Structure 1
């Protein structure tokens, strides 16, 4: 089964040049396969940095979350959701591994929110024309990204993964734990973590999507605002075997949760954009502008 890259390509072109979003440089088609050429991220995955560094301070974790929340805020304001936010899709552009060099990558499961008539939902369109049930679904889609960011923050702060005890946990067991509510934060590593950080983690991992903060609300959270006064002492230190287990568990955890169906790759003429253009050609005198 092949995945239709149309949506991913459209999104990457829309956000080309936006900080902390991977840049699409070229597209090639060869032997019925489509190759997307992006900037090379030489710094590696965010989770690999945990393995090398062994721990993060609250100040370091805050700087990372601020960059990611700011990037999600840009996407969400333009009615785009990533839907596959995980450490392996967050890469450093270079070996310096500064938070500002983090990039969100792999938009293969990303989605441009559309109204029932198929038109892209811009902020203006949403405010004026969207039905309440459409707005509710839009909020739910965005909340999925926030939940994933909460899992990432939990892992950075504690060196553990919420709702999972090992890389071989069955998906149904993980989902049962999630449905029981946010984690209890009883491990010893949480004792030295600020209440503000713990409150933010729990709010992002709320089982009710409507109760999770938006990306904009995360950016205005006291923990983010007061980052200069946060602890510079790491709450834990991973040994190499532990770090390898953490990485394997994170990979297994997000793999278990991935449930979005992949779409069969169809001819270019079958894409939504091609159909829109074909339809516009049959309507002479129509002065409306279409946008992608």
Structure 2
């Protein structure tokens, strides 16, 4: 009998409780799949993380799990962690399945869009951020791509997702984080300065998001990350051209200014922001009454097309510099969306490599000569006039014609 008790018990193999389905998104070391719980039949999103690809970065996953465990099911606007388990080859984070799509896609599908709608979206985001900050968590990667809707219904909850860059902070400290991280256009000055940062970086990002929601482009948008960083460090932005901001209230602009304050200690807190007149208004007196959808959609689509062209021109110039143009073959792609990297989103908590903007693709452009094409800056953070957009489109068409003429 004693001999039997000394024998080690064999570990029981637990059957997988989920069946995975279609792929919703992919990152450099993970894939997000729709999954169904076999016993209950409920659908979720499973972030499947490859252990081999994550070797040496396991702490990122452990941190993400720790953050989600701390805040899951505590706030209606935060994506819930349902389950976590691992197999021999993979780690699995199972979360709510957000079927309502990304923030800006939802806006573009609307028939109308007013300043009060933008304020509602910012209010929901701020409520969740205040909850995170109250629990000692800084998100560090707030951007429209990380804001998802729970369902396709008009009254669906907006959810903050992707906690891969979040950190649990020591409440006794303010400057606790020094690692440069996030998506450049939404990063606060103190992140670039590496002087230490904390919760105020999330408020800065909300200021950028609010600006974007009201006009369709970001305040520090530039042709290169370096120029973008230089603009952020000195808060070089304005509410121009006037034609795009005429319908936006002074209260909304004041909200943005108080978020985009260079000194972190002078920036609003999440609770301050929730009390701001633009967010807390019980009526629309403090908000504009003009339909912003035509302007927002036009600017968003124009800038997405321009950015894709700039990226293509840059790639072709690099090929020429390296003598690689002769290796190019085939026809000009007519679908700029094809070949674009999948967005690690659609209902999962995401991963830190989700910096690729949606809609980026191969546009096929160059100048047809030996000199790199010079293209206008991306509006210097002041938007683009119709004349600027038409001129850039003309130059891109000429570039395409010159590049591909020799291939016929």
**Alpha carbons 2:148, 2:161 under 8 Å: kept:** yes
CA distance in 1, matches of 2:290, 2:282: 13
Equivalent residue for 1:149, pick from 202, 206, 213: 206
| 1:27 positional shift | 1.6
Q: How does 1:21-100 map to 2 (within 5 A)?
A: 21-53=78-110, 56-98=113-155
What corresponds to 1:171 in structure 2? 225
Secondary structure of 1:91's partner? strand
Q: Residues 5 and 108 of structure 1 are in contact (CA less than 8 Å); yes or no, is this contact kept in structure 2?
A: yes
- What is the Cα deviation at residue 79 of structure 1? 0.7
Q: Which stretch has the larger CA shift, 74-83 or 22-31?
A: 22-31
Q: List gaps (5 residues or longer) in structure 2.
A: 1-52, 178-195, 311-351, 354-408
Q: Deviations over 1:62-91 (max 9, x none)?
A: 111111111100110111011111111110
Shift of 1:161: 1.3
Instruction: Give the Å deviation of 1:193.
Output: 1.1
Q: Taking CA–CA contacts closer than 8 Å with sequence separation of 6 or more, which of the two structures ends up with the larger relative contact order?
A: 1
Task: Look up the match of 2:166.
Answer: 110
**From 152, 158, 175, the counterpart of 2:215:** 158
8 Å CA contact 1:164–1:249 kept in 2: the answer is no
Cα distance in 1 for residues equivalent to 2:139 and 2:109:
27
Contact 1:55 1:159 in 2 (8 A): no
Take 1:69 and 1:110, find their aligned partners in 2: how far apart are those partners?
A: 16
Q: What pairs with 1:228-243 in structure 2 (closer than 5 Å)?
A: 228-229=283-284, 230-238=287-295, 242-243=299-300
Match of 1:12 in 2: 68
Partner of 2:25: none
- Which of 267, 278, 281 in structure 2 is aligned with 1:212? 267
1:51–1:238 contact (8 Å) kept in structure 2? no
Q: Is the 1:28–1:36 contact (alpha carbons within 8 Å) kept by the matching residues of 2? A: yes
CA RMSD of aligned residues (A): 2.8
Contact 1:44-1:92 within 8 A present in 2 as well? yes
Matching residue of 2:17? none
**TM-score after normalising by structure 2:** 0.52
Q: Distance in 2 between matches of 1:146 and 1:248?
A: 29
Query: In structure 2, the residue corresponding to 1:217 is in which secondary structure?
Result: helix
Note closer, same or farther for the CA distance 1:153–1:176 as it changes in structure 2 (3 Å cut): same
Change in 2 beyond 3 A, CA 1:143/1:203: same
Q: Report the CA distance shift for 1:205/1:55 in structure 2 as closer, same or farther (over 3 A).
A: farther
> Aligned partners of 1:249 and 1:107: how far apart in 2?
30
- Greater fraction of residues in helix: 1
Q: Does structure 1 residue 135 correspond to structure 2 residue 135?
A: no
**Inter-partner Cα distance in structure 2 for 1:176 and 1:239:** 25
For structure 1, which segment, 26-35 or 65-74, has the greater mean C-alpha deviation from structure 2 after superposition?
A: 26-35
What's 1:180 paired with?
234
What is the alpha-carbon distance in structure 1 between the residues aligned to residue 72 and residue 267 of structure 2? Answer: 29
Task: Provide the rounded CA distance (Å) in 2 between the counterparts of 1:182 and 1:153.
Answer: 16
Deviation at 1:32, TM superposition (A): 3.3
Task: Give 1:137 shift.
Answer: 4.2
TM-score, reference length from structure 1: 0.72
Q: In the aligned structure 2, how far is the partner of 1:156 from the partner of 1:170?
A: 22
On the 8 A contact 1:56/1:156 being kept in 2, the answer is no
